[in-house]
Structure 1
Amino acid sequence: MPGHEFIPVCEPLLAGKEMEYVTEALRTGWISSSGRFVAEFEKKFAEYCGVEFAVTTNTGTSALHVACVAAGIGKGDEVIIPTFTMIATAFAVCYCNGIPVFVDCDRETWNIDVTKIEEKITPRTKAILPVHIYGHPCDMDPIVELAKEYNLVIIEDAAEVHGAEYKGRKCGSLGDMGCFSFFANKVIASGEGGMVVTDKEDLYNRCRYYRNLAFPLDSTRAYIHEHIGFNYRMSNVTAAIGLAQTEKADEYGERRRENARLYNDRLLAVKGVTTQQEKDWAKSVYWMYSILIEDEFGMSRDEVMVKLRKRGIDSRSFFVPMHMQPSLKGYGCDCSGDYPVSEKISRKGLYLPSGSGLRKEQIDYICESLIRLKR
């Protein structure tokens, strides 16, 4: 709508000590990964997640990759993932020469359908990599039980769930390792960056080792490299922002939950609009407030997005399932089979503006605009 401010789908809220910490890093000259904010960010984030250890990385994708390497995933090993996820989940497995094995999602939370995991387990299965999608936790108890029964590693893709809880425990702390992203649209945002968290010291040390070009953890053996490692270090400047954001994480998570409450008040009764259902055992942080545009709405998802854009409202379509990705078909993944739920929500899903700094009047305008589009 002409004259109305443009509402982006997400923008970071920098309302803490970001400027103070970054200025210190620049003023002191400590801009590399050796500065104090890296260790402080790791310590603070581990405490926030309720775990013993945390390892910073330069991106969330790097966190997933280094966790897969630390878990011993190698050539031909199978890793079970949801087909409905962002491509980084699958790529992290491929980087290790492993094979992603796909599972459909459930109809209510859009997370991996835990009733369909066991049928995908084979003698080659090494790990389960559940993804907590759009801020809502996966149903982890059945996954943990399967992992114990079949001796599998659990690596949580927690890129979108900073502060979300499953039965009172923080996401990322529920498996062997949890992997986070701090991209600019996340609840905790440092522009780029990632983190692996764990309670297991051996996995912690492996992540540290491979994250830093496989430099020996024993400094007396510097420049002797027994394995292939990666330069996934986080800079002190990025960590300074991440630390400041973590100090405000509870507030930012609650802001997103409040935004979701405001959206729900207006949209739950609208025919043709389906929302992600928050389960009783879950505390979602609504990384993105996500909806499906059903046939009853009277127009397609893509038509809705175009019309919202004309009214100054940004939105994004859902991820395309992994079994439909040309890169993974070419890699050799088994992309056959039926994944009806994932295909439907990918086709019909969009997320609305969801930043922690979103205001009530903006949400009111977004909801009014969407409701007016309904035929």
Structure 2
Amino acid sequence: MTEGSVDPVPLFRIDWTAEEVGNAVDSITRGSYWANGPYVDEFESLLAETMGVEHAVVFNSGTSALVGALEGCDIGPGDEVIVPSFTFIATANAVEAVGATPVFAEIDRDRYALDPDDVADRITDSTAAIMPIHYAGIPCRIEALRELARDHDLTLIEDAAEAQGATVNGAPVGTAGDAGVLSFCQNKVITTGEGGAVVTDDDELAARLEQFRSHGRVSGEYFDSADTGEYVSLGFNLRMPDVVAGIGVAQIERIDDIVARRREVATDLNDRLATLDHVHPPAEPPDGRNVYQLYTVRFDPAIDRDRVIDELAERGIASKVYFDPVHLTQYYRDQYGYTAGELPRTEAISEQVLSLPMHPSLSRHERDRIVTALEEALDACGR
């Protein structure tokens, strides 16, 4: 920073306490079970209890969990999976990883998630699954998507990576379909640095997931047995280490407090930004609870978003365009021949949104700076 400048306001800060550190030390100094162990069991139990499901199976990343969920639901070559293009690329890449084909559908204008009407138009005889995301902690129209899945006998897998703690009509997102996928990457609602989980009420699916993350092994723990064990299916090493799960235990025990503080910060920003012309704060849907994993605003088309980004940066305020349309990335252009204009609503919205700093401990002073900087940036854009 230059002389006289102020500290920057980052996009996020990880919310941690002494318990996360204590659990990590406990796992390390135990001197065993680093690749698996008691914290993994406890974390899975707490996740299942919090989500109100029978099973939670943890993985080393959210992406691994997505692949595991698709594989466990028998999605593979010849199948189509309807996904949004406005998402982190892992949503589509996981479909590719199991040999299926991602089919991109439009998003709606308020929740930035799959539009059920457009999804319905893209269902074919090859469609095997619908995999929506809950963008930035905003619950998608999951009830309508669940009805579509039931009507067409399709698998419904929720990519709830950004929305742990969000609800729809009181039910946690991630529990409406056959499986829900969570992520614990560093900027998520709760974090272990990296990690993920699949939650489900399906006993058979949970067993397949446990095998898939451990090379298809069906017998007991590898290091607790004198023999090599039995391998009954194809799998990989996608396990979550015990030390990572220990951090997760400390985080999940505080999730209600973390969500409440996120919502308090967001409510203040929503109220203050709602008074600005050409800026639309994130939605608080009437049927659900937004957990504000990201704080994404949308500008009217007249506003030069790139100019806003530069103006915010000059004032020490971080911002980020998290998602460009996946169908327009080089891989999907080359693989499927996608071109601009095929998803006009998604493409337009993706050029208008910007994520501002958000975390549970964002101070009033930092919020003041964000609002003031955004006002000045908009003035610089000639609003």
Normalised-by-shorter TM-score class: over 0.9
Partner residue, 1:13:
15
1:99–1:333 Cα contact (<8 Å) kept? no
Paired residue type of 1:353:
P
Partner of 1:256: 262
Distance change >3 Å, CA 127–CA 283, structure 1 → 2: same
CA contact (8 A) 1:215 1:222 kept: no
Task: Give the distance between the partners of 1:100 and 1:369, measured in 2 at CA.
Answer: 39
Aligned residue in 2 for 1:357: 361
Question: How far, CA to CA, are the matches of 1:277 and 1:338 in structure 2?
Answer: 26
Distance 1:240 1:269, change over 3 A: same
Are the equivalent residues in 2 in contact too, given 1:81–1:130 (CA < 8 A)? yes
Give the corresponding residue for 1:117: 119
Residue in structure 2 matching 1:269, options 275, 296, 302: 275
Q: Secondary structure at the match of 1:317?
A: coil
| Residue of structure 2 equivalent to 1:371 | 375
- Distance in 2, matches of 1:16 and 1:345, equals 41
Deviation at 1:337, TM superposition (A): 6.2
Percent of aligned positions that are identical: 37
Rounded to whole Å, the distance in 1 between the matches of 2:326 and 2:119 is 16
Please give the residue correspondences for 1:204-283 in structure 2 after superposition, counting only pairs within 5 Å: 204-217=206-219, 222-283=228-289
* Structure 1 equivalent of residue 95 of structure 2: 93
Q: Which of 72, 82, 100 is the equivalent residue of 1:70?
A: 72
Q: TM-score, normalised by structure 2?
A: 0.93
Look up the match of 1:133: 135
Which sections of structure 2, spanning at least 5 residues, go unmatched?
none
For residues 332 and 76 of structure 1, what CA distance do their matches in structure 2 show?
Answer: 15
**What residue is the counterpart of 1:4 in the other structure?**
6
Partners of 1:290 and 1:100 lie apart in 2 by 25
**TM-score (normalizing by structure 1):** 0.95
Equivalent of 2:192 in 180, 190, 193: 190
After superposition, the Cα gap between the structure-2 partners of 1:130 and 1:347, relative to the gap in structure 1 and judged at 3 Å, is same
Shift of 1:212: 0.9
Deviation, 1:332, is 3.1
- Report the Cα offset of residue 318 of structure 1: 3.4
- Say which SS state the counterpart of residue 374 (structure 1) adopts: helix
The residue aligned with 2:308 is 304
Which amino acid in the other structure matches residue 39 of structure 2? F
Change (3 A) 1:67 1:360: same
Whether the 8 Å CA contact 1:318–1:349 is kept in 2: the answer is no
Q: Tell me, which stretches of 5 or more residues in structure 1 are unaligned?
A: none
**Cα pair distance change 1:143/1:217, threshold 3 Å:** farther
Superposition deviation, residue 273 in structure 1:
0.8
1:57 equivalent to 2:59? Answer yes
- Report the Cα distance in structure 2 between the residues aligned to 1:289 and 1:239, rounded to whole angstroms: 27
The C-alpha deviation readout for 1:273-294, integer Å capped at 9, x for no partner, is 1222221101000111101222
- Does the CA-based 8 Å contact 2:270-2:282 persist in structure 1? no
Deviation at 1:336, TM superposition (A): 7.5
Q: Is the 8 A contact 1:209 1:217 kept in 2?
A: no
> 1:16 touches 1:244 (CA, 8 Å); kept in 2?
no
291, 298, 303: which one pairs with 2:297? 291
> Shift in Å at residue 329 of structure 1?
2.6
Judge conservation of contact 1:318–1:346 (CA < 8 Å) in 2.
no
In 1, the alpha carbon distance for the partners of 2:254 and 2:162 equals 16
Q: Distance in 2 between matches of 1:194 and 1:338?
A: 32
Spell out, residue by residue over 1:51-72, the C-alpha distance to the aligned partner (whole angstroms, 9 max, x if none).
1100010000000000000010
The size of the alignment, in residue pairs, is 373
SS in 1 for 2:351: helix
* Structure 1 residues 350 and 30, CA gap change in structure 2 (3 angstroms): farther
SS of 1:316's partner is: coil
Say which SS state the counterpart of residue 17 (structure 1) adopts.
helix
Equivalent residue for 1:317? 321
- The secondary structure found in structure 1 opposite 2:349 is helix
Contact 1:53–1:199 (CA under 8 A) maintained in structure 2? yes
Partners of 1:123 and 1:311 in 2: CA distance: 53
Cα deviation, 1:305-326, whole Å, max 9, x if unaligned, reads: 1111111111111301122122
SS at match of 1:154: strand
Selected match of 1:81 from 80, 83, 92: 83
Question: What is the Cα deviation at residue 30 of structure 1?
Answer: 3.2
The question of 1:159 aligning with 2:165 is answered no
* C-alpha separation in 2, matches of 1:195 and 1:16: 24
8 Å contact kept, 2:36–2:240: no
Secondary structure of 1:175's counterpart equals coil
- Please give the alpha-carbon distance, in whole angstroms, between the structure 2 residues aligned to 1:202 and 1:122: 27
Superposed displacement of residue 199, structure 1: 0.7
Partner amino acid, structure 2, of 1:56: V
| Structure 2: distance between partners of 1:335 and 1:81 | 17
CA shift for structure 1 position 103? 0.5
Report the aligned-residue RMSD.
1.7
CA contact (8 A) 1:101 1:334 kept: no
Give, in whole Å, the separation in 2 of the partners of 1:217 and 1:145: 38
**Once the 2 structures are TM-superposed, how far is the Cα of residue 295 of structure 1 from its aligned partner?**
3.5
Give a deviation string over 1:218-252, Cα, whole Å, max 9, x none: 67995443332111100011101111000111111
